[in-house]
Chain A
């Protein structure tokens, strides 16, 4: 980035998302809806993510140190303690799959000293592995704690010969000292974009399915293009009266259960969670 380029495109570099007309030129804005009422906490999404995105299995010791590399994790809320208090502890845990929220105003983006994470035109918060120098500033700034750092050279540890044959060739195998995070299965998106471009059309709804959404046995995860008004995701966002560019959703219908995690922090996430329905009478 030369200085003249920086001055010339100052407004572009200093942009505050989401802004008016951000997606006018773009065809896609990828978004997700996760229905917590349907989620049974089976961890199939996590397993699928491990298989799809070459995530290393770190082992029990490192997991205990908090160095697990799961891009999507199932958070459990039991009735223990004040913070994790659920309404009905006797009915078991409440689950919440937590993955990168692909925020519009992502806190991780402006703090990267080398610009390894930036906002893509289709609304994804990208991580470029070969540019990352491992300052871990982004992880510190992420309110959702969904960025994972390669503390070790996992390729040697996690996939000893011949296990490297299971690796997905479309995804980089990250090396030591690199930050990584959920990509919304970007390799699948790019593949479908190619196929769609061959036929001179846009990606249709349901053509791209992330690994977690594909593996979910209860179809709790829905993925799609928010700009495509006919898509399932756009319909759900509209039905739940959620607007991408507001930090406080004023709902006319109190029965609507859509919300975005830590929305008040003005990160404008791309993932909507549907609250769990509880039978308060029982």
Chain B
């Protein structure tokens, strides 16, 4: 082996070693978890809400329809975070839970006539228009699918969470994945249609 070949050999060995060690955690699915782009960004940050609203109690145990509180979902672009009087409509009458710390805080806002400063969890960029109404009208009202499933397409299983957390990617490729599929027009019909592909349907 002459000196030139030696150099090449050692260089190759060096880079191979570097490459293997550097790639190791990614190949073997190390600490990062799912290696796909969407998987990496899937879990949103934990949001500190003013009151740790227990979705698992309301939507899970009590089986309250999501749209009882998020009334905008069936008739407007945004699903809308309910106003304080929506909470108080029920909780004024629920004597047995009035001594709970979270309910006490709710009443504090009510007595001080302040809106609860809820924070947005599922936040899209400003150049995107997502229409809740179209999705709810199609999948809930026309196809008669259960509401937890319909909302869960994008929001995950909120009924098992306390404070809502973003668990889906909400990226454009993720949206398009579903828009490429053929969906039934209504519960009984066999006709299918896929979501719009035009840029200006969602981008504004």
Could you tell me if A129 and B137 are in contact, using CB atoms closer than 8 angstroms?
no
Judging by beta carbons under 8 Å apart, are B204 and A186 in contact? yes
Q: Complex formed: what's the CA distance from A214 to B135 in Å?
A: 31
Tell me if B200 and A120 are in contact (CB < 8 A): yes
Chain A contact surface mostly: loop
Q: Is A171 an interface residue (CB 8 A)?
A: yes
CA distance A166 to B15 in the complex (A): 58
How far, in whole Å, are A167 and B179 apart by their CA atoms in the complex? 31
Chain A: interface residue total (CB-CB under 8 A): 21
Which residues in chain A, 98-136, are within 8 Å of chain B measured between CB atoms?
A: 118, 120-122, 124, 126, 128-131
Task: For the complex formed, measure the closest distance between the CB of B126 and the CB atoms of chain A, giving whole angstroms.
Answer: 6
A126, B203: Cα distance in complex, Å: 10
Report the minimum CB–CB distance from A75 to chain B (whole Å). 27
A129 touches B134 (CB 8 A): no
By a CB distance below 8 angstroms, the chain A residues around B129 are 170, 190
Chain A residue with minimal CB distance to B137? A198
In the bound complex, what is the Cα–Cα distance between A186 and B200 (angstroms)?
8
Whether a CB of chain A sits under 8 angstroms from the CB of B96 is no
A27 within 8 A of B: no
A172 touches B204 (CB 8 A): yes
Residue of B nearest to A172 (CB): B127
Complex-state Cα separation, A39 to B126, whole angstroms: 35
Among A121, A129, A198, which residue has its beta carbon within 8 angstroms of that of B203? A129
How many A-B residue pairs have C-beta atoms within 8 angstroms? Tell me: 42
B200 adjacent to A194 (CB under 8 Å): no
Which size bracket describes the interface of B in this complex? Answer: 10 to 19
Residue of B nearest to A170 (CB): B204
Cβ of A187 < 8 Å from any Cβ of B?
yes
Q: Is A209 an interface residue (CB 8 A)?
A: no
A145 beta carbon closer than 8 Å to chain B: no
A190 to B126, CA, bound (A): 16
Q: What is the distance, in angstroms, from A85's C-beta to the closest C-beta of chain B?
A: 40
Within A122-175, the residues touching B (CB, 8 Å) are: 122, 124, 126, 128-131, 170-173
Which of A126, A130, A197 is close to B200, meaning CB atoms less than 8 Å apart? A126
Q: Are A130 and B204 in contact (CB under 8 A)?
A: no
Q: Complex formed: what's the CA distance from A190 to B198 in Å? A: 12
Contact of B134 among A121, A124, A170, A197 (CB under 8 A): A197
Complex Cα gap A197–B131 (Å): 13
Q: Are B199 and A118 in contact (CB under 8 A)?
A: yes
> A187 contacts B134, CB within 8 Å?
no
Per the bound structure, the CA–CA distance linking A198 and B142 in Å amounts to 11
Nearest CB of chain B from residue A55's CB, rounded to whole Å: 15
* A residues less than 8 Å from B31 (CB atoms): none
Interface pair A124/B200, CB less than 8 Å apart: yes
A120 & B199 in contact (Cβ 8 Å cutoff): yes
Which of B134, B199, B200, B204 touches A171 (beta carbons < 8 Å)?
Answer: B204
Per-residue interface assignment for chain B, residues 160 to 187, with 1 indicating a CB less than 8 Å from any chain A CB and 0 otherwise: 0000000000000000000000000000
Given A120-B198, A121-B198, A172-B127, CB of A130 within 8 Å of CB of B137: no
Give A121 to B200 CA distance when docked, in angstroms. 10
Give Cα A187–Cα B201 distance, bound, in whole angstroms.
10
Bound: A183/B134 CA distance, A: 22
Q: Given A172-B126, A198-B137, are A187 and B199 neighbors across the interface (CB < 8 Å)?
A: no
Report A38 CB to chain B, min CB distance, Å.
Answer: 30
Q: Counting CB contacts under 8 A, is B157 at the interface?
A: no
User: Which residues of chain B have C-beta atoms less than 8 A from A197's C-beta?
Assistant: 134, 137
Which B residues touch A171, using CB under 8 A? 204
User: From residue A58, how far is it (CB to closest CB) to chain B in Å?
Assistant: 21
Q: Which of B131, B198, B199 is packed against the most chain A CB atoms within 10 Å?
A: B199
Q: Which residues of A contact B (CB under 8 A)?
A: 118, 120-122, 124, 126, 128-131, 170-173, 183, 186-187, 190, 194, 197-198
Chain B residues close to A by CB (< 8 Å): 125-127, 129, 131, 133-134, 137, 198-201, 203-204
Lowest 4 A-B CB distances belong to which pairs?
A172-B127, A126-B200, A130-B127, A128-B199
Cross-chain pairs A/B with CB under 8 angstroms, 9 sampled: A124-B200, A128-B203, A172-B204, A186-B204, A190-B129, A190-B200, A190-B201, A194-B133, A197-B134
Knowing that A170-B204, A194-B134 touch, tell me 4 more A-B residue pairs with CB under 8 angstroms. Answer: A128-B199, A128-B200, A173-B126, A197-B137
